[in-house]
Amino acid sequence: MTGSHPALTAHFPRWTVKGTAHHRTTCACCGHENLEHTVALAPLDLLGDASGPAVHFGPRCAAAVLHRPVAAVALAACHADMRAERKDAWARKIISLYGPMEFGTDQEMEAAWNRSGNASSSSWQAREFVTKFLADARAQLTDTTLRPTRPHSITDFQPFLVVLDTSNLRHHWCGVVPRENTEGFHTSARRDWTGMVSVTVAALDETSAVHVAFGRRGIAQYNAERGWF
């Protein structure tokens, strides 16, 4: 099964399993086509760090190169998939929270950063952190090792209604605002959630929308405390 792919030569004797790729169905090792999925492997350097782009091998070739049973590689890939999904979720949250702030003033940046669960930072630090986090988040969602590019820009945002507890600690409900009969949706939500605070926000997913809703309330409070507009 081990072919003559250059990645199999002695330069990178160790590999790490990056996950399962359903969009890559040809084994880069033996050339086998129309596989159900491939396993993405990244070469490790001598210090054990992933270095260089991943290669996509069929499950049997991946097992052969790792000297492990096919089932053990599948399990490692499954765990790596879950880690990748958590990174995607983090990236969606970062872009939802800070994407709209990217071209904001230093004050807006500071308020957004300090009221989104981060350690307190000055304006210039906040801009630096936001810029770096946004770059990391976009790199994560445009990494096509395991899946095609995922939605990652503010033009991909959807509208959500978030119903918050007045204690500002938890939310009761979050859902997509329909594009049809939007007013009817809000009227019925007001009826269902009498006495609650509801806020309409835009975000990449539901979980991020809740963070944005709390962030927005926190920002208003932060600005009020400092006498900013």
Question: Which residues in this chain contact Zn ion in the complex, by CB under 5 A?
Answer: 27, 29-30, 32, 58, 61
Considering the complex, what minimum distance in angstroms separates the CB of residue 78 from Zn ion?
20
Task: Kindly state the DSSP code that residue 145 receives in the 8-state scheme.
Answer: S
Nearer to Zn ion, 27 or 40 (CB): 27
The angle that helices 70-98 and 123-141 make with each other, rounded to 10 degrees, is 140
Considering the complex, what minimum distance in angstroms separates the CB of residue 131 from Zn ion?
41
CA 66/CA 80 separation, integer angstroms: 15
Considering the complex, what minimum distance in angstroms separates the CB of residue 2 from Zn ion?
8
Considering the complex, what minimum distance in angstroms separates the CB of residue 33 from Zn ion?
10
Nearer to Zn ion, 37 or 127 (CB): 37
Nearer to Zn ion, 29 or 219 (CB): 29
| Short-list 117, 108, 114, CA closest to 90 | 117
Nearer to Zn ion, 43 or 58 (CB): 58
Burial profile 208-225: b = 16 or more Cβ within 10 angstroms, e = fewer = bbbbbbbbbebbeebbee
Considering the complex, what minimum distance in angstroms separates the CB of residue 12 from Zn ion?
17
Burial profile 63-79: b = 16 or more Cβ within 10 angstroms, e = fewer = bbbbeeeeeebbebbee
Nearer to Zn ion, 30 or 199 (CB): 30
Residue by residue, DSSP assigns 65-134 as HHTS-HHHHHHHHHHHHHHHHHHHHHHHHHHHHHGGGTTS-HHHHHHHHHTTT-----HHHHHHHHHHHH
Nearer to Zn ion, 4 or 149 (CB): 4
Task: Kindly state the DSSP code that residue 142 receives in the 8-state scheme.
Answer: T
Considering the complex, what minimum distance in angstroms separates the CB of residue 30 from Zn ion?
3
